[in-house]
Structure 1
Amino acid sequence: MKITLVKKVLADGSLCGKCRDVQERLEAKGHLSLIDRTLIADVRDPQSAGITIARQYKVERAPFFIVEREGQEAEIYTIYAKFAKEVLQPAGRL
């Protein structure tokens, strides 16, 4: 399983509020190490990796998670609680 976290950077260079919250939750629970890669959707750069992948998956909110399992279509999670319940908890990671 491969997990990608996409976070949004605002025009002033700061992380969006929800992105900060999710980052803090991941750190507090020791789950940040489970994230394979983090991409930044920088509103100042329409070609940033995060914006490009958001377009690819037709996601308009940040933060979001992309969960890729071998032989399956990628799953997109835009709600941290659902991601934690469906991805982290079944894997015995909560």
Structure 2
Amino acid sequence: MPSAQAELFPSPQADLFGTPAAPAYVVPHDIAVNTLRKTLATLTAANSWPWDPDMKAARMDRTVPKLLAVLPADEAEHWGRLIAAEAARLDR
């Protein structure tokens, strides 16, 4: 098929989804570790949960798992144990 005719009949799905999405942002390792370190320090210094229930959910249920996901498995397990221990202490 000549190239001029190929332009007359573009792929039927060419515009259905637009341009491909940009790759998702991945937190750099240093930022993940620093944020986990600050979170752990905040929890360690507290006698009760330092955040209201919504902020607690945001940090503990969403942010911390996302940060742990970018770390190597052994490092993620280490940070996860430390933060879980402080969370358990604050839940008592």
TM-score range, shorter chain: under 0.3
Structure with more relative contact order (C-alpha pairs < 8 Å, separation 6 or more): 2
Q: TM-score, normalised by structure 2?
A: 0.25
Hey, which of these two has a bigger chunk of helix by percent?
A: 2
State TM-score, norm by structure 1: 0.25
Higher strand share: 1
Larger radius of gyration: 2
